[in-house]
Amino acid sequence: MPAVSKGDGMRGLAVFISDIRNCKSKEAEIKRINKELANIRSKFKGDKALDGYSKKKYVCKLLFIFLLGHDIDFGHMEAVNLLSSNKYTEKQIGYLFISVLVNSNSELIRLINNAIKNDLSSRNPTFMCLALHCIANVGSREMAEAFASEIPRILVAGDTMDSVKQSAALCLLRLYKTSPDLVLMGEWTSRVVHLLNDQHMGVVTAAISLITCLSQKNPDEFKTCVSLAVSRLSRIVSSASTDLQDYTYYFVPAPWLSCKLLRLLQCYPPPEDGAVKGRLVECLETILNKAQEPPKSKKVQHSNAKNAILFEAISLIIHYDSEPNLLVRACNQLGQFLQHRETNLRYLALESMCTLASSEFSHEAVKTHIETVINALKTERDVSVRQRAADLLYAMCDRSNAKQIVAEMLSYLETADYSIREEMVLKVAILAEKYAVDYSWYVDTILNLIRIAGDYVSEEVWYRVIQIVINRDDVQGYAAKTVFEALQAPACHENMVKVGGYILGEFGNLIAGDPRSSPLVQFNLLHSKFHLCSVPTRALLLSAYIKFINLFPETKATIQEVLRCDSQIRNSDVELQQRAVEYLKLSSIASTDVLATVLEEMPPFPERESSILAKLKKKKGPGAVSVPELDDKREAGLSFNQRIGGSIPASPCRCSTPSPSADLLGIRSAAPIGATPTSTGSLLVDVFSEAGPAAPSAAVNDDGFLRFVCKNNGVLFENQLLQIGIKSEYRQNLGRMYLFYGNKTSVQFASFTTTVSCPGELQSHILSLNVQTKPVEPLVEGGAQIQQVLNIECLTDFSEAPLLNIKFRYGGALQNLSLKLPVTINKFFQPTEMTSHDFFQRWKQLSQPQQEAQKIFKANHGMDTEVLKAKLLGLGTALLDDVDPNPENYVCAGVIQTKGQQVGCLLRLEPNGQAQMYRLTLRCSKDSVSMRLCELLAQQF
Amino acid sequence: MYKNSINFMLLFSRQGKLRLQKWYVPLSDKERKKISRDLVQTILARKPKMCSFLEWRDLKIVYKRYASLYFCCAVEDQDNELITLEIIHRYVELLDKYFGSVCELDIIFNFEKAYFILDEFLLGGEAQETSKKNVLKAIEQADLLQEEAEAPRSVLEEIGLT
């Protein structure tokens, strides 16, 4: 091959690359690169016009620098110039640079599109291919707008060269994926289907990707492809290994095309036409037969290509799920692979069998491989293979083998890789629940899970065991006995303490008859764990204690003593303190009747889908848990007679409470911010008229911050104690913000102070803030509101937000709160109205890459037009109608006023309703502003 | 929504240096760098003889080591791992044939050629032309055009430039 020494071999480039390779350090490399960049910049800026060769060389160097991971912010224009060169290699380098470096938003797109247009109409196939490659590589919406109607024409024109057709097909596919709305179906579509019959295998290979994509979207329109695909496949499958010449790969005829044909067929149900179906079944049988034939070559490429087709055929067989004979054959074939010496094949066989397990025709056949799969779980050296084995065990599990599989998974858990433990725990928990014949086995399994992998047992799992025990009275005694025993272990996991506390608090009476587990023994056992536990667990234990007082009056004195001691009643944690105080009071004030009502046993949980299953689905995506669901169908009636609830177990106290954290168990560690305190007149409210809420942490809270980017007034923060409202107005570079602090309690806040600080750069005068009013009153009475005014002046643009820190004493406890104040750069916008012409002219003027910031992101809210408009107006810019040629898009313009300068900003927001995505582009005369606005806004829609 | 077959392809050395990167899905420069960094680390940490496939985020990674270079493709969950492995192999064959026993240095010094060959073989993440002969023919034609670079413009090119 000629290759490297070829004509142009850009010597300068080679020298530069060697230089870089010879650099001893990162610093030296950067130095060398900067030198080169300076050199290239001066060449590009120089008076002397560069010849094409030099331009090509420099553009290529820039590309190399970029691919090393450095930023390149110039050279785009030179690259675009190369596109119109009539020298192929110059053009080629130009296109390469464009496809690697110019992202879809560049202003240069128009120039590029022109060059592409010229090349497409040049009728020179090599130029046409280059242009098509570029469109496919960039694939931007602008390109789709320009070429989506042209390319189908090229694709189906009678005189188009094969190589151009291939590029055109895949280019169109790319545009269809980016902008399906711009690629219109038409007369060309039926002709595209017939490309499946094309004599040129390369054309078929390229076209079928396009056809598959179009079929998924418009199955009816492309239905005819099924019979064409079947006959094409049949011809390939039955061809001798040399018939297809260069499309034969290591003695396998057209493996890529075969796989794609089989994939296309998976877009459709089995063919209705008997003849077509017969032919297809024949093909599939032939493929299965070939797997049994001796290999034609020892090369791994031969077996890989052959097996690629086999696996794709098996996917199709599973997709049809209607041919028991084929399904069982597929399963046997995969069974052979399970013990193959190639790791790759074992991996794929495990993976593929997972889907086979969900077919009722092959489920039993899959189950016969259980020993092999268990062995794989134990002996495979590669964790990804073990993971597949665990997945398959999960998929093949049913009532007949559940005990064995759960036992194996449990023992695997002891040594399992950390990365997969949590998922394994979820799976074990689901299987145990699903196939529990007796609930004692279920309880044992879950407690084992906690013992073996306590850290990985998520809340959902231990909530679930509690729900089930509460709903099934036949297992409550056993559960109490088992947790009691489990808690005897000197070191037991905190999750075990939680389950133990809850269950003994509810059902400890069921084992209290045995002197070895008398009420006091139970209490002492629980309390021996108390001091080692975290706050939420201690809170739960306190609730268990008050339940004990109800269950076992003889423990009352002991427990009251515990509650009364300083470490409880004066605990620095408000939640614990509150519980201790309340429970102590409750136990001494309330009569036995009241106590019994308040602390009655928990009612059964409502029926709901298992929250564990929901969690696994979330973790693995839908489909991953399809198997147990299928089991539901098969074994309905055998399953739990009660599908029980998946919600968090609520507090064992059947009362609403004035405490802001409504669940006394402390299961939710913090009450939702903004929740108003409930004050329904229930029993406890009468007993204690005031309650100490949890202390808000001093960590900076910026929940409210983002809600104020597009609005000026509202509630910035709210918890059980305090509400902070904001009103603000801005004019030019000045702003005034009113802060309203409301005391929501009936108790005075003491030592109330607020400070506003500007972190980091902000402090160095970027934003000057002065709190004009005198310091707020140090006392805020219950139910009162006080006000504070802040004057703001924007000196220059900024990205940070000022911090508001609030400190006060409430019932003796110091409250400390930090909030980001919603002062954002866009507050200083002046809207600017302009015409479409002006807008685009300015847009073009702001074409330096760093002036632009762009983000593509998923819609977080509905994509309602009016809401979007309101937000954009709230931003402070002018929303310009009739500017963007696409009416779906929004464009805005405004000027940010700072003391030192004005920053012009243009904004374009392109929603894609279908994909639920947005593309947001900002161009500002100052780069930092583009970036900041883009960041802020990307979180608004 | 129909997904790309190949999301991206990376070539990197045993030292973790990226030698070629081709992205078939729109991603920001920052995301690309993060993905490359994570993935290179993940793969380099794997032992030889481990299987060539792994689940990574919501993609499947198919990789293979050839001498000092790792070739790695990210494909969708539904995609065929083995045929992707052979996509990699075919690309290696193409490079090998073009450069004549290709080595890492060939790809470093002629990175643009490596991209050109890839574009002839794969387009938009799908196989465009799987015949080795046809791909190389297209590249050779381009090389020929290069040698005739000084030849006067053809009439066709004139039209192309109007």
Q: Which 3-state string (H, E, C) describes A27-55?
A: HHHHHHHHHHHHHHHHHHHCCCCCCHHHH
pLDDT band at A762 (very low <50, low <70, confident <90, very high): low
A177: nearest CB among B2, B82, B131: B2
Instruction: Locate A320 and state its tokens.
Output: 């049809």
Dihedral of CA atoms A391, A392, A395, A401 in degrees, nearest 10, equals -120
CB contact under 8 A, B131 and A104: no
Cα distances (angstroms) measured from residue B45 to each of A914, B21, B82: 39, 20, 22
Q: Which range, of A58-72, A615-629, A884-898, averages the lowest pLDDT? A: A615-629
A924 CB-side CA count, 13 A: 25
Res A380 pLDDT > 50: yes
CA–CA separation, A19 and A6 (whole Å):
21
A255: nearest CB among B83, B110, B159: B83
Query: For A785-801, what is the mean pLDDT?
Result: 81
Question: For the packed helices A535-551 and A519-530, what is the interaxial angle rounded to 10 degrees?
Answer: 170
CB count within 10 Å of CB A920 equals 21
Instruction: Locate A514 and state its tokens.
Output: 């045995």
Instruction: Locate A363 and state its tokens.
Output: 């489920």
The one-letter amino acid at A792: I
Res A201 pLDDT > 90: yes
- The CA-to-CA distance between both ends of chain B, in Å, stands at 40
Q: What is the pLDDT of residues B90-126, one digit of tens each?
A: 999 999 999 999 999 999 999 999 999 999 999 999 9
Spell out which residues of chain B touch residue A260, defining contact as CB-CB under 8 Å: 127
- The CA-to-CA distance between both ends of chain A, in Å, stands at 55
pLDDT at residue B148 in the model = 58
- Helix (H), strand (E) at residue A369: none
Cα distances (angstroms) measured from residue B31 to each of A582, A938, B2, B37: 52, 16, 22, 10
**How far is C-alpha A593 from the geometric centre of its chain's CA atoms?**
51
Is A11 annotated among the ligand-binding residues?
Answer: yes
State the DSSP string of A187-233.
HHHHHHHGGGG-S-HHHHHHHHHHHHHHHHH-TTTTTTHHHHHHHHH
Q: What is the pLDDT of residues A119-129, one digit of tens each?
A: 999 988 999 99
pLDDT band at A9 (very low <50, low <70, confident <90, very high): low
Dihedral of CA atoms A195, A199, A203, A208 in degrees, nearest 10, equals 50
Q: What is the DSSP letter of A246?
A: G
pLDDT at residue A773 in the model = 47
Spell out which residues of chain A touch residue B141, defining contact as CB-CB under 8 Å: 126
Res A678 pLDDT > 60: no
Query: For A783-801, what is the mean pLDDT?
Result: 81
Q: How far is A608 from chain B (nearest CA, A)?
A: 29
For B62, the closest chain A residue by CA position comes to A344
Q: Is the dihedral of CA A531, A532, A535, A538 positive or negative?
A: negative
Q: Does A344 touch chain B (CB under 8 A)?
A: yes
**Count of pairs with CB atoms under 8 A, one residue in A, one in B:** 222
Instruction: Locate A189 and state its tokens.
Output: 């579509």
Q: Which residue in A20, A151, A304, A921 has the most chain B C-beta atoms within 10 A of its own C-beta, making it the best mutation to test that interface?
A: A304
- CB distance A783 to A746 below 8 Å: yes
Spell out which residues of chain B touch residue A119, defining contact as CB-CB under 8 Å: 160
Instruction: Locate A285 and state its tokens.
Output: 């049988």
Is A43 annotated among the ligand-binding residues?
Answer: yes
pLDDT at residue A849 in the model = 80
pLDDT band at A749 (very low <50, low <70, confident <90, very high): confident
Spell out which residues of chain B touch residue A155, defining contact as CB-CB under 8 Å: none
Contacts of A230 (CB under 8 A, 6+ apart): A265, A271, A276, A279, A280, A283
Is A35 annotated among the ligand-binding residues?
Answer: no
Q: What is the pLDDT of residues A540-587, one digit of tens each?
A: 999 999 999 999 989 999 999 999 988 888 888 989 999 999 999 998
CB contact under 8 A, A119 and B160: yes
CB contact under 8 A, A344 and B58: no
pLDDT at residue B103 in the model = 92
Q: Which of residues 23-82 of B touch A (CB under 8 A)?
A: 26, 28-29, 33, 46-47, 49-55, 58, 80-82
Share of chain A above pLDDT 70, in %: 87
Res A174 pLDDT > 70: yes
Q: How far is B95 from chain A (nearest CA, A)?
A: 10
Mean pLDDT of chain A: 83
pLDDT band at A52 (very low <50, low <70, confident <90, very high): confident
Q: Sort residue A489 into left (φ over 0), alpha (ψ -120 to 50) or beta.
A: beta
Q: Buried (b) or exposed (e) across A297-310, using 16+ Cβ within 10 A?
A: eeeebbbbbbbbbb
CB contact under 8 A, A308 and B83: yes
CA–CA separation, A239 and A252 (whole Å):
10
CA–CA separation, A2 and A131 (whole Å):
25
Q: Which residue in A10, A26, A84, A87 has the most chain B C-beta atoms within 10 A of its own C-beta, making it the best mutation to test that interface?
A: A87
Is A794 annotated among the ligand-binding residues?
Answer: no
Q: Does A81 touch chain B (CB under 8 A)?
A: no
Please give the sequence-ordered ranges of beta strands (E in DSSP) within chain B, or none if there are none.
6-13, 18-23, 53-56, 59-66, 69-75, 122-123, 126-127
Q: Which of A536, A473, A533 is nearest to A506 (CA)?
A: A473
Instruction: Locate A668 and state its tokens.
Output: 């939710």
Largest CA distance in chain A: 102
State the DSSP string of A847-916.
-SGGGEEEEEEE-SS---HHHHHHHHHHHTSEEETT-SSSTTSEEEEEEEE-SS-EEEEEEEEEEETTTT
CB contact under 8 A, B149 and A856: no
Q: What is the pLDDT of residues A134-149, one digit of tens each?
A: 999 988 888 899 999 9
Is A58 annotated among the ligand-binding residues?
Answer: yes
Contacts of A749 (CB under 8 A, 6+ apart): A721, A722, A743, A779, A780, A808, A809, A810, A815
- CB distance A749 to A808 below 8 Å: yes
- CB distance A372 to A339 below 8 Å: yes
- Helix (H), strand (E) at residue B137: helix B132-147
CB contact under 8 A, A308 and B86: yes
- Helix (H), strand (E) at residue A761: none
Q: How far is A629 from chain B (nearest CA, A)?
A: 21
pLDDT band at A367 (very low <50, low <70, confident <90, very high): very high
Residues in a beta bridge with A878: A893
CB contact under 8 A, B162 and A118: yes
Q: How far is A169 from chain B (nearest CA, A)?
A: 9
State the DSSP string of A75-97.
-HHHHHHHHT-SSHHHHHHHHHH
Q: How far is B6 from chain A (nearest CA, A)?
A: 12
Q: What is the DSSP letter of A247?
A: G
Res A454 pLDDT > 80: yes
CB contact under 8 A, B1 and A915: yes
CB count within 10 Å of CB A496 equals 21
CA–CA separation, A744 and A782 (whole Å):
7
pLDDT band at B147 (very low <50, low <70, confident <90, very high): low
Only one residue has tokens 């400070």, namely A755
Q: What is the pLDDT of residues B19-57, one digit of tens each?
A: 999 999 888 888 999 999 999 999 999 988 899 999 888
Is A61 annotated among the ligand-binding residues?
Answer: yes
Only one residue has tokens 């609005």, namely A711
| Environment class of A437 (CB within 10 Å of its CB; exposed 0-12, middle 13-18, buried 19+) | exposed
